[in-house]
Structures are given as C-alpha cells and as structure tokens.
Structure 1
C-alpha cells in the first residue's frame, strides 16, 4: 500500500528549522520513525528502514527540517501494540513538492491549518488494549518489538523496602548522577543540576486471570495519586527533621490508598522485557477515572460526582528497580 499525509513528529520531535536530529544514530540504526496523519484521520506511526530512511533523511535535511508532506510507496501494515506502517525494500519516499500528489496535499494543508495543528507535540497513537496475559504472550513472540499497550488492572500491592522515587534532573528528568559536590545530568550534559524527586514505585496488579508487577514512572505517579513525588518527599523531610538525606522515605499514604482501585494504564514493553530479563512492566501514563453516571436527587437536583491520573529514564533504571525489589515483601491489603 502507499501512504500520503502530513508529518507530525520525526523521531519524536516536531519538524522545524531548529530541529536537531542525531545523524549518527540514524545512520547506525538505518531507521526513522514518523508520526503522520492523513487529513483528519487518526495519527499513525510510519517506520522507515534502510534505503527509505536514508532517502527521507537526505530530503528532509535538504528542506531545512521544514518539510510537511510525505508520500511513501509500497508499505507493509503491522501491529506492534498499535497499527503502524513499515517501509520495504521497494519503498520510495517523496516530500512536499517532489510530485503532483505531494504538491496537491501541500495545497490542502495550507488551507486547513486548523486540522494540521490540532494535535500538539506530545501526540501519541492510541495504544491497543491488552490483558495481562496478552502482554506476557506478546513478550514471548520472536517478532515482538518495543511497544505500548493499554491495560486495565486492579492494584493489589504496593512494594515497600526500597525507594519509591528517584532524584532526577530538574530540566529533563532522567536520573541525576552524584558528582563530587553537585548533581550531574548525563542526558543534557549539565555539570550542576537541581535534583527533583520523580516516581519510580512498584505496584502489584491483577486482572481476572493474571498478576503482574508494574513500575510507576515519572508523571504516571502523579496521574495515579494526584500528588507530585517531590511534594511528598519534601513533606516527609519537613515532618522528620532528624532523618538524613540518604534515609529511605517510606511509601506515602496516597500510594497505599490506591490499593483496591481498578485503573487503566499505558504500559511499555521494553527491551529488557523482550530479552527475558524481567517481566516487570513500565507504566508511562495512568488514564483518569471515568465520572460515574449522574444520580437524581430529590426534586430536580442532579448530583454528578466527578472522580478526581520519560521514556527514557531509563529503561535501565526501571530494570534496576525491578531487580532490586523483586525479592522484597510487598505489603498486601485488599479492600473488603
């Protein structure tokens, strides 16, 4: 099949004149990942490999990072958690003014900027729903790749005995490294950063048939509890003047209070899952609780109660957390 549409993201970044892509990484991986959209249709992931990736990169670089329309021929539709399109050996890549089809689409795009700009920079393709059992089965497939799924499960344990948070770079959030006198960030290259607590909590969850461990990462923790990790850590130290900086802050009550809740999680099947090193899954997002149906009170009164939900830490940080607490006793409490 052929595909034509406008480019939303290139390797996770919004196309612009200031876009900086890692050329060495593209050359080594021979891959470019695009998020694309045809008119007002759902956003799709388009994976360009080998010659198609090289052809796209040369043309995109020549455009100064501003190319908006892409047409790729001879694509193979696949499902890795979400529907995606993947290039093949015969695939050809055309941008903006290359051929009549791209020129026509570019004309449509210029007249429909409201559609083109409707989704912002953190646009993601809606993950495919999966049960815990289906996630485990997917990890065993020889063809499996890193993917995201939507999984609904009940929280049944919160793991105690290890840190439920990490100290991350205040700017870009990966784990900060202790230097002689300051905190360092390897990702953004700064030799002095402000450390901010980020969630890295381990939960035991279950559905009708299976049980699993989820690691709650970063913003997903705030989406679950309604509280920032930094706020909870700061509150603990303010209430306990005698504790040292290296003391383990106990799991906060707001996390324990989630035991018994059934929530919908966006989970990532990471490289360490596919390698068989651990079955602990990373939670990157927790969807909000749905509002209950309106309840009619006396007269005409209606009471509608509304229930108050980076990737790359760190897959390695998540793996270390999973390995470190794998043998810990989890505090078990069920709502009766």
Structure 2
C-alpha cells in the first residue's frame, strides 16, 4: 500500500469531511477523535456552526488482534426491515423510532463488540451484519435457531468466540457518532485476514 503509519493523521478541518484510507495505529485513531473534539470546542459551543451540521467521516485501516469478544451488549439486535435501525421493545410490541408504522417487521442482525490490540494500545471495534455474516458464513438468525432453547442472544456462539486470537486488517469508519464521550467505539466497515498469517490461539 505504500502507507507509513508515522505520517500524521489528516484532521477534519473543514466541514466537507475527509475520506482517507491511511494505515494507522489505535493510538492514532484515538488521537484523531480527540483532535476533532478539540476543534469543536474552539467553536465555543456554537451548535449552529457548519462543523456541527456537516458530516465528518474518515476511513482508516488498522491492523489489530482480537483479544476477546465483549459480552456486555450481546452480539445481535433486532433491526427494522425498513430502515435497519434497532427496534425498541414497547410492552409486547416492537417499535421503530424512525418508521411510523403500526406493523413493524424485525430481523435479527449482528452487532459484535471486539476488544482489540495492535501491540501498543487497545480499543473496542464494532462489527455489524455484513462482515459478521461473511466471517461466520451464517446469518445471526440462523445462529439463534441453532442455539435453540439452550441459548439466548446474550450467549456468544462459538463461531464468534473463535475470533479471539485472530488478527485482521480492519477498515474503520469514523463518523460524528464517535465524536462524543459516550461513544468510544470504532465501527468496522470491512475486515480481512488476508494480510496476516496469525493463527487462532
């Protein structure tokens, strides 16, 4: 790729957004978000400023090893078939906060949180449905059916646990969602084992 990790990370200095695919470390990912937070503070909390209105997306590559699969938030969610948002449970019914419909249909999808390490720093990477389906070769709904009565969506299936110890080249998409103290996870848009020769521990 000819990309050096020592090169400084491009910052979201304009409202137009950045679309880079630099190979970076986890430290540099955290640094990118911190610098963007600082930039927002310089606007003096003026939320009408264009920097708050424009999308500030950036794409990076990060080579990291999976330390473990985090269980706190489970590994799946029920998604709205209309807009892919997570459905809220209201009583015995499911409701979509975006789609205004009395008959909302849901489908189970992956949302897997991975604790990863690049040899120096750690982070939480979140992998969603498309990439997890490729990795496991099964849909989230299929895994739940296979677990049967002996498992719930909170029990991590073995094919997901098997990611522990493996190394991947992650493509990370940083969006405004990441630019807050409440959300310090990084969304994985793609991942590949092709660039590593690490075997499962």
TM-score by length of 1: 0.44
Q: Tell me the CA shift for residue 258 of structure 1.
A: 1.1
Structure 1 residues 1-336: aligned runs within 5 Å = 79-80=10-11, 86=16, 127-141=21-35, 142-143=38-39, 145-179=56-90, 182-237=93-148, 240=149, 247-286=152-191, 288-290=192-194, 335=201
1:231-286 Cα deviation digits (max 9, x unpaired): 1112223xx27x7xxx5441011111111111111223243532233422222322
Q: Which runs of 5+ in 1 are unaligned?
A: 1-77, 88-124, 294-333
For residues 181 and 254 of structure 1, do their structure 2 counterparts lie closer, same or farther at Cα, with a shift above 3 Å needed? same
1:126-149 Cα deviation digits (max 9, x unpaired): 633221111011111134844232
Alignment correspondent of 2:43: none
TM-score by length of 2: 0.70
Give the whole-Å Cα distance in 1 for the aligned partners of 2:73 and 2:11.
33
Give the whole-Å Cα distance in 2 for the aligned partners of 1:160 and 1:277.
18
Give the whole-Å Cα distance in 2 for the aligned partners of 1:279 and 1:176.
22
Q: Is the 1:185–1:192 contact (alpha carbons within 8 Å) kept by the matching residues of 2?
A: no
Report the 3-state secondary structure (helix = DSSP H, G, I; strand = E; otherwise coil) of the residue aligned with 1:178: strand
Number of residue pairs matched?
172
What value does the CA root-mean-square deviation take over the aligned residues? 3.2
Higher RCO (C-alpha 8 Å, min separation 6): 2
Report the 3-state secondary structure (helix = DSSP H, G, I; strand = E; otherwise coil) of the residue aligned with 2:145: helix
Q: Which runs of 5+ in 2 are unaligned?
A: 1-8, 41-55
1:147-178 Cα deviation digits (max 9, x unpaired): 23221111111112542111011233211123
Give the whole-Å Cα distance in 2 for the aligned partners of 1:189 and 1:126.
36
Q: Is the 2:88–2:95 contact (alpha carbons within 8 Å) kept by the matching residues of 1?
A: yes
1:300-329 Cα deviation digits (max 9, x unpaired): xxxxxxxxxxxxxxxxxxxxxxxxxxxxxx
Give the whole-Å Cα distance in 2 for the aligned partners of 1:285 and 1:187.
26
Report the 3-state secondary structure (helix = DSSP H, G, I; strand = E; otherwise coil) of the residue aligned with 1:168: strand
Query: Highest CA radius of gyration, 1 or 2?
Result: 1
